[in-house]
Structure 1
Amino acid sequence: MKNNLLLSVFFIAQSLLALAQYDESKVPPYTLPELMVTQAGKKVRTVKEWEAQRRPEILALFAEQVYGKTPTKKLRIHFETVSTDRQALNSLATRKQIRAYFTDDRQHYMDILLYTPNAAQKPVPVFLGLNFSGNQSIHADPGILITKRWVPDWKDPGLINNQATEANRGARARRWPVEEILARGYGLATVYYGDLQPDRADSFDESIHSLFYNKGQTVPSPDEWGAIGTWAWGLSRAMDYLETDQDVDKKRVAVMGHSRLGKAALWAGAQDPRFALVISNDSGEGGAAITRRQYGEQIKRINTSFPHWFAGNYKQYNDRENDLPVDFHELIAIMAPRPVYVASASEDQWSDPKGEYLSLYHAGPVYALYGRSTLTTPIPPEVEVPVGQKTWTGYHMRNGKHDILLYDWDKFMNFADFHFKRK
């Protein structure tokens, strides 16, 4: 049943992909929502006015109309260190695996994989991100626990009947250059997103949603969180642990994500100010891209292919982008004054690279309130010409397809070096 559902979603997605709009000359005229004007019509002129009035308005609109409201209920989370190896990766790193239990019956949990470099002075800054196939997929390290969760059929080696096997170790290592990250003096933490909610439209009964339902409830209400909100919540719970680890500099944790997990990273960064730096890679519609451009993937397409990702309320904007009370430059803006980096790929027009760049650019007025330098032109840079590496909004467009590669990580680390004051 689940595989039949996935197959149906796949064919729907393929048909929608064929109908995507990739002609820049056909981008309709649009007017972005006023970033610096409150809903009452008051012009925002100071940081105090932004933080007390306009920022909370925008955050609430994203919660109600796009991602869904994150529950305010606090769970009693118990962190248990499953293993520690201080000579991992040929003594290059200390590897810790921590299980975060969300319930006393230990049925709901997520596994945090954390590497910190042995050669660096502790505590170290850390990159935190979710992964698509289980922690074992990011590196061939035989000590990593293999997830027992359902895994999407990515056609990766070692995935059999939606379960990971030994042969899946390191299947996605090209997206996680662990040794290079450690050599730069950074730690790396990751969690399998399926620990929080399986990436299927019928997965709410298997997710952590049930821990927050009201009596008799079986699915989220239209203004409650979808899967992206759930995954973002998990990033914040991983941050809860990182704050307690003496090897981690809790003031220098960068949250990052690719594709749908880039959307989750942005939403986590918007809600949780503990993340010192936020990185989006190829996050597109519902992430960094300006939705009113109606270029590449659009609201109706994403809600049809992935009906579980966003709040139910987001579906009312199918084919009605201009009626959405926010746009995604405002998502970037509510993270100010913290630095934000957005990356695109030249062949990933589905994610609208120009729209991703423009969100950063149009967030500039808020950063200016804080005296922070940002991008200065609405014209995106050439391929593989990074801009803003030493400002508060950085960007590059890598040559190639929808992916996250060493080139991207190198630019993320350069950006972090500047903001984390590393030589």
Structure 2
Amino acid sequence: MFRFVCLCLSAALCQMVLAVSLCAQDSPAGGSASVATAAGATARLNHADLSVYRAADGTLQPIRSAADWQQRRQQILEGMQRAMGPLPQRNTALPFDVRVVEDRRLGAVRRLTLTIAVDSVTDRLPLDLYVPAALADTVTGENLTGVSGKKTAAILALHPTGEAGKRIVAGEAGRPGRQYGLELAQRGYVVAAPDYPSFGDLGSYDFAGDAYQSGTMKAIVNHLRCTDFLVSLGFVDGSRLGVIGHSLGGHNAIFHAVFDERMQAIVSSCGWCPFGDYYGGNVTGWTSDRYMPLLKTEYGLKVEDLPFDFYELTAALAPRTFVSVSPLEDDNFDVRGVQKAIPVAGSIYSLLEAREKLILMTPDCGHDFPADIRMQVYRILDQTLQHQPDAFEPDYSLELPRIAATAPADALRTFEVAPGFQLQQTAAEPLVTDPVAMSYDEDGRLFVVEMRDYSEQDKEHLGVVRVLQDTNDDGVFDDSREFAKGLSWPTAIIAANGGVFVAAAPDVFFIRDTNGDLQADEQTLVFTGFARSNVQGLINSFHWGPDNRIYGSASTVGGTVTCPVHPERAGLECRGRDFSFDPRTLELRAETGGGQHGMSFDDWGHRFVSANSDHAQQIVYADHYLSRSPVASAAPPRISIAVDGGQAPVFRISPVEPWRIVRTRLRASGLSKGLVEGGGRPAGYFTGATGITIYRGDAWPAELKGVAIIGDVGSNIVHRKRLTADGVVWRAERMDVGHELVASKAICFRPVQ
């Protein structure tokens, strides 16, 4: 059993697809019906075949025009009503009888909570009306129905499943990413968010006591009435209306818009797939009182017998803008079914010369409506509804939860190590906090740099050097002393000359204890000028070289470095270079290098470095040899040697951090600047390689000597590679198939240097 000795480190996409229309000769999913039948026979329509309609004589006739399609569309509406119950005649003469319950400001937006009459004065629909900033000082609960003036676009925001009902779309309940109602109001829309029967203020709704055959049809009637109310407001432009919803709200947005052609833009997030693709064709989930019980009682849960399907409903939205947000990992509505249905609906959009208005987005996530997708959707709504949005910055806090730290006593249980190895904890809080570099002295004491001020606290000087001792020789540190403090962003340390050299850009100090109390009483500034413009590119990785000099990495920011002890010496330019110095004379020298974080030697003096996204690199030659000729040309001295690539796959076992997911999606969508790595994947490859060590000891078997050990803070792993000479360069090949040398489930495990 081989052992690691370590410190417990406790701190420190969507793809948018415009689906392609089926050609006339393509056979849509679900089969195709014959074009004609015997005279007088009533042909059965295939829901997945939108190339035909049923003529008055019962025969199937090809759809060749918009007029033909309108006949099929009417048959779709009839099919919906066979499953949902009939759509009753709307009583447009019934007064809305608006009753305002609450008038509240949410920042610049005003929210009016009210009820309106639907079927009768006693049949009340609770809803939140969001009034945007431009109208918030004018429109109040007292004058709501009397205000007129410049008209604005309006949105019907339908909530997902949840007891809080309409408040979910304000971000006040439910899971993150559902606050689209409030966000659209913040963008300048008038927004109405009603409760669905059995949720919110309709939580005790009695389905058995109403006149409807399904909760779905009652909701459709409510949403039609809510739209009527929106149109009646003097500040709403009834020609610029849209509907948006997630999950429950997603399919109800479709249902509503099929019946209500006033809706010019429809957005369904995680709201649908063909019935045959819903849990493998098990449509039981659609049959409760709040949905469509007739699917069970009249049609026996048989998908092939159901009177409508989503192939038809999505097509029935044409030629209006329809955006389907269908995540790749949605466990409710299978994206593969959506991907089958969209081209079928696309044939009708093409017929109506509106193919570009059918939009499919497939983010790489579960049953969610992520921020970057919402922002893209809002832009489509703005364009479709000719809306000039108010300045708006989304609140990502709901999608960025705080992640609890792992207690030191539980830390080891989060690790998995390669067979034959064992991991031991030698120090943890409160003995040490935020360690980023360490060095043993000649007496076996461990000096540790604590970078407590990573990453934003650049002026507080919170960095500490701590010395740890094992006083009873049991292999576990039990004594901790604060050796030095008041450092800003300390990142490197090495024991030498009875003290320690400590890097805290822009400075390098020599610090020592002269009276044996393990507290520094002498601190000398030996070098200064290392840049600190990027906290992820600071001076790091002090190591002894084969020539008894101390080597370090100037990282990505470099600097012009001087020696205050010897002011007569010229400054040394370190940009794109590493450096070394003599610990006795402080003579400083530039070295070939340029890695970001991490550096190590093998037994023969070959030097290896690493960078966040290029984890294994070799310094092939010293570039000062080229200085002899001003016209010399040569290959770069620093090369990538990983056979599987600089951003090689890794096998993390920790959950991917929410911030990493959000950042990747924002970058991939173009909503935020930054490099899109890994093909738009947030994790699963080297993103934060921050240290490379060539194993040169004798505690492990001899065949492991010379192995490269590489930490990746972004994936919470320690990786290893076998180094093999290939001429004058080396090849670095993965040793562990399908796993890592060390991996932790805790994201606070961040191995460096």
Paired AA for residue 267 in structure 1: F
Within 5 A, what are the aligned runs for 1:259-338?
259-284=247-272, 289-292=273-276, 294-296=277-279, 298-303=281-286, 306=288, 308-313=290-295, 315-318=297-300, 320-338=302-320
- TM-score (structure 2 length as normaliser): 0.39
1:416 aligns with 2:381: yes
1:140-289 aligned at under 5 Å gives the runs 170=173, 174-177=177-180, 180-194=183-197, 203-206=206-209, 209=210, 213=211, 225-284=213-272, 289=273
**1:394 maps to what in 2?**
359
- In the alignment, is residue 367 of structure 1 matched against residue 349 of structure 2? yes
Return the match for 2:331 from 330, 349, 353: 349
Q: How far apart are the structure 2 equivalents of 1:326 and 1:84? A: 40
For residues 224-274 of structure 1, give each alpha carbon's deviation from its aligned partner in whole angstroms, at most 9, with x where no partner exists. Answer: x41112112211111010001122221111112222232222111101111
TM-score of the aligned structures, taking structure 1 as reference length: 0.67
| TM-superposed deviation, 1:302 | 1.9
Corresponding position of 1:102: 118
Alpha-carbon offset, residue 173 of structure 1: 7.1
1:295–1:179 distance in 2 versus 1, CA, 3 Å: closer
Flag the 1:41–1:404 CA change in 2: closer, same or farther, 3 A: same
Quick check: 2:325–2:363 contact (8 Å CA) kept in 1? yes
Distance in 2 (CA, whole Å) between partners of 1:325 and 1:98 is 36
The amino acid across from 1:328 in the alignment is F
2:329 match: secondary structure: coil
1:334 to 1:246, Cα distance in 2 relative to 1, 3 A: same
Contact between 1:138 and 1:176, CA under 8 Å: does it hold in 2? yes
| Matched position secondary structure for 2:79 | helix
Q: CA deviation at 1:363?
A: 0.7
- For 1:395, what is the secondary structure of its paired residue? strand
Shifted more, 108-117 versus 264-273: the winner is 108-117
Query: Are 2:158 and 2:193, in contact at CA under 8 Å, matched by a contact in 1?
Result: yes
Higher helix share: 1
1:327 is displaced (CA, Å) by: 2.8
The aligned counterpart of 2:158 is 130
Mapped to 2, the partners of 1:295 and 1:138 lie a distance apart of 25
Q: 2:116 aligned with 1:116, yes or no?
A: no
Question: Is there any run of 5+ residues in structure 2 with no aligned partner, and where?
Answer: 1-28, 33-45, 136-148, 389-753
SS at match of 2:262: coil
SS in 2 for 1:409: helix
Corresponding position of 1:78: 96
Equivalent position SS for 2:52:
coil
Find the aligned partners of 2:368 and 2:224 in 1 and give their Cα distance. Answer: 24
Computing the radius of gyration from Cα coordinates, the structure with the larger value is: 2
CA contact (8 A) 1:77 1:101 kept: yes
Contact 1:177 1:406 in 2 (8 A): no
AA at the equivalent of 1:274: R
Quote how far apart the aligned CAs of 1:71 are.
Answer: 1.9
Distance 1:73 1:371, change over 3 A: closer
The answer to whether the Cα contact below 8 Å between 1:342 and 1:357 also exists between their aligned partners in 2 is: no
Q: Distance in 1 between matches of 2:296 and 2:169?
A: 32
Judge conservation of contact 1:270–1:335 (CA < 8 Å) in 2: yes
Partner SS state of residue 100, structure 2: strand
8 Å contact kept, 2:101–2:114: yes
Matched, 1:50 2:69: yes
Q: Single out whichever of 117-126 and 255-264 deviates more from structure 2.
A: 117-126
Whole-angstrom CA distance in 1 between matches of 2:371 and 2:293? 33
2:440 corresponds in structure 1 to none
Q: Decide which moves more: 254-263 or 313-322.
A: 313-322
**What is the root-mean-square deviation in Å for CA atoms of aligned residues?**
3.1
The one-character-per-residue Cα deviations of 1:10-60 (angstroms, maximum 9, x if unpaired) are xxxxxxxxxxxxxxxxxxx83262313122211121112222x22111211
Per-residue deviation at 1:352?
A: 0.7
Task: State the partner residue of 1:30.
Answer: 30
Q: 1:258/1:138 Cα in 2 relative to 1: closer, same or farther (>3 Å)?
A: closer
How much has 1:313 moved relative to structure 2?
4.7
- Most deviating of 314-323 and 123-132: 314-323
Aligned residues: 323
What one-letter code is carried by the residue in structure 2 that aligns with 1:98? L
Partner Cα distance (2:312, 2:322) in 1: 12
Quote the Cα distance in structure 2 between the aligned partners of 1:81 and 1:307: 28
Query: What's the counterpart of residue 395 of structure 2?
Result: none
Structure 1, unmatched stretches of 5+, are 1-28, 141-168, 214-219, 374-390
- Aligned-partner SS, 2:53: coil
- Answer whether contact 2:243 2:257 (CA < 8 A) is retained: yes
* Aligned CA distance change for structure 1 residues 417 and 302 (closer, same or farther; 3 Å): same
Residues 95-142 of structure 1 show CA distances to partners (whole Å, capped at 9, x for unaligned) of 3333212366x53201221113224894222221233424445448xx
Residues 346 and 401 in structure 1, CA contact (< 8 A), matched pair in contact too: yes
Determine the structure 1 residue equivalent to 2:340.
358
2: CA distance, partners of 1:179 / 1:135: 11
Structure 1 distance, partners of 2:88, 2:224, is 13
Residue 277 of structure 1, CA deviation: 1.4
Task: Give the share of equivalent positions with the same residue, in percent.
Answer: 23
Change over 3 Å in CA distance of 1:398–1:203 after alignment to 2: farther
